[in-house]
Amino acid sequence: MSFDSHWANNPPQPPASRPRKQRVAALALVLAMSVGGGMVGGLIANSSSSNTSSNNGPLVTAPKIDQSKVGNTSIAKAAAVIAPSVVTISNTTANGGDTGTGIIVSSDGEIITNNHVVEGSTDLKVRLAGATDAVKATILSTDPGNDLALIKLVNASGLTAATFADPASMAVGDTVVAVGYALALDGGPSVTSGIISALNRTLTDSNGALDGLVQTDAAISSGNSGGPLINLSGQVVGVNTAVYNSDGQTAANNIGFAIGVAEVQRVVKILRNDATGNHSNAARTQGYLGIALGDRTDGGSGAVITEVQADSPADKAGLKVNDIVIAINGTSVTGQGALIAVIRDASPGDKVTLTIDRDGTKKTLTATLVARPAQ
């Protein structure tokens, strides 16, 4: 299947994995001086000498605050709920090292993060919230196509697992908070807020397509990858994974993406089965339809079939070149990436129902997927 040329050539950049060798070591403060700096200094000095008594008095300070009233905003409360479940991940690779963020999903140390945070690992360490030392972790299972990985701490217990939101509770315009170790700065995780800008986005990248994405304008930076995007109850609505940056042809501001909670829950179930060996080969083999795709150029939504492989499931179902796929399994297809992702996530033997537009006439066809042929 072909990929959308814009996203394929200019894919959103994963904000994760901040190389430790590029870590910010210090911040330089630049002090601006006016041309008349000497004169200003002289005026201040004169003022000080003529008002000595008034300037030597104590600074006026606010009365002591009841600590129970500190951090009482909705965003502060949400951040406090998720804080025990957010960890920083240090990954050593043959080419150096990366850092990212993870989310505790079980009391005995299971952690979900992005695949690109742990990819190529030769040594994996995790530091818990408030801890001084990092502890060793192992990779249980990974899914590069969905950019998710399940790792586990060695000999852990009594940890606070995050709560995942009901996917049906999310709406465009809801306030969300991104939490993670942005730029691998010292101290605790960074907290930024914004809204859900869109739901069910699909992006193509070098591994295929990411679907079920939540788009947000909450600031997401390097090191945030694998961390939680939460609602105001502190529940996870997504796993921060990518941010779109401006380039020579496209302007972009505050466009970040998190893998939506429904997709995360689906993939974590597969990853857990993989880790325990309780999966069939079909469950981890990608489905195959046998088509190549292009985008519509007439302003409409959907994906245009540009090629049908002979004797493939698509051929047997009756799909033809120039058919426009507008829905699959009752869900609208907004572009080729959405269709790619659905087929990729399906298993051999699954039946898919495709709604197509053929020369202005809508038709419904059913195809039975097979295993993707070896490359």
Which amino acids are annotated catalytic? 116, 147, 225
Q: How far apart are CA 187 and CA 164, in angstroms?
A: 25
Pairing of strands 121-127, 86-93: antiparallel
Half-sphere exposure (CA, 13 Å, Cβ side) for 268? 21
Nearest to 146 by CA among 294, 365, 340: 340
d(CA 106, CA 208): 29
3-state DSSP assignment of residue 358? strand
Q: Name 210's bridge partners.
A: 203
Tokens of 211: 């679907």
Q: How far apart are CA 283 and CA 348, in angstroms?
A: 8
| CB neighbours of residue 375 within 10 Å | 3
* Tokens linked to 321: 């070149």
Query: Amino acid identity, residue 362?
Result: K
Question: Are the CB atoms for 196 and 172 separated by under 8 Å?
Answer: yes
Contact present, 232 and 75 (Cβ < 8 Å) = yes
Residue 222's identity, in one-letter code, is S
DSSP category for residue 298:
S
